[in-house]
A = this chain, B = another copy of it.
Amino acid sequence: MTNTQVTLVQIDNYGPWTVTPEPRREADLQTMQSRLYADISQFVGNRGGYTFFTRFDNMIAVTNGCSFDDHALLQESVGNRYPVTLSLGVATGTNPVQALSDATELIQDAGSAQDKNRRECLEGRVIEPPHRADGDVQIAHFDVINATGNYTDELNAFDTFIEIEQGYAELMRHMRYAHDSLSFFVGGDNVIVVCPELGSAEYEEALCHVEDAVDVEMQVGVGRGTSAHEAGYAAKHALETCRTDGTRVELEWETT
């Protein structure tokens, strides 16, 4: 059984800030957002977690391995270095969607995303080290089969992007409603999915569903571990097996 620790990272009162006193230069907002994301990704990542940029003003992280103090330190450090502050909600559970719902509620209960009096709230609880276990996190790493040959080197860059994006939009919705999983586009033709305990059948079903719905062919490697990094790293290796052997679903723990 998985036990995913999910953190919702929300920039406090960000929308109003971007237009006060006048709209700020878009390029500066883009630069600031993506660097803030990069810093969080690095902080969480070198503790074994994964952070996804999602909407940038609301980022979602898998933080198994990050203590409550780590969360507080991240919050303090961002507050010292950026013109904006963060609120963090953290929750855990066997179902990643439910964990994220719980994390979201903790932040919503503390105030609106556009409440100028809600700043740097830090709510929730983490999995303490004695309760962490080998299969706490299950990660599936999808990519599009031969995306370079079929799309990047053939279509214009936007039409390629549309194909990848439609594949992602379909996969994210399906994995969420059919399999309680959180799917994130991570660049190129890659989608990383945070899953409960699923098996081959569910992944095969998902690949078929996406192919039927939007005609994008994907493959997937799946891994498990104590942390997102461990699970994700195993998933990457499994995906390499797909690429080498031409298989479409590889579960790293079933590979010989």
Interface, chain A (partner B; CB < 8 A): 8, 10, 14-15, 18-19, 23-35, 37-39, 41-46, 49-51, 53-58, 60, 70, 73-74, 76-77, 80-83, 97, 100-101, 103-105, 108, 112-114, 148, 152-162, 164-166, 169, 172-173, 176, 182, 186-189, 192, 229, 232-233, 236-237, 240
The answer to whether A232 touches B58, judged by C-beta atoms less than 8 angstroms apart, is: no
Residues of chain B with a CB closer than 8 A to A43's CB: 42, 46
Give the secondary structure class of A's interface: helix
* A77 CB contacts on chain B under 8 angstroms: 25, 28, 42, 45-46
B45 touches A38 (CB 8 A): no
Identical chains bound together, number: 4
Interface centre among A42, A237, A240 (most CB of B within 10 A): A42
Q: Is A232 within 8 A of B26, CB to CB?
A: yes
CA distance A32 to B189 in the complex (A): 17
Select one of B29, B34, B158, B164 contacting A100, CB under 8 A.
Answer: B158
For A176, list chain B residues within 8 Å (CB): 158-159, 162
Task: List the 6 closest pairs (A to B, CB-CB), nearest first.
Answer: A27-B45, A56-B187, A28-B80, A23-B236, A101-B156, A169-B169
> Quick check: B152 and A113 within 8 Å, CB to CB?
yes
Flag if A27 contacts B41 (CB, 8 Å): yes
Known contacts A51-B30, A172-B165, A186-B26; is-contact A58 B112 (Cβ 8 Å): no
Chain B positions within 8 Å of A81 at CB level:
28, 31-32, 35, 82-83
Task: Name which residue of chain B comes closest to A115, CB basis.
Answer: B153
CB pair A55–B189 under 8 Å, yes or no, is yes
Q: How far is the CA of A249 from the CA of B43 in the complex (A)?
A: 36
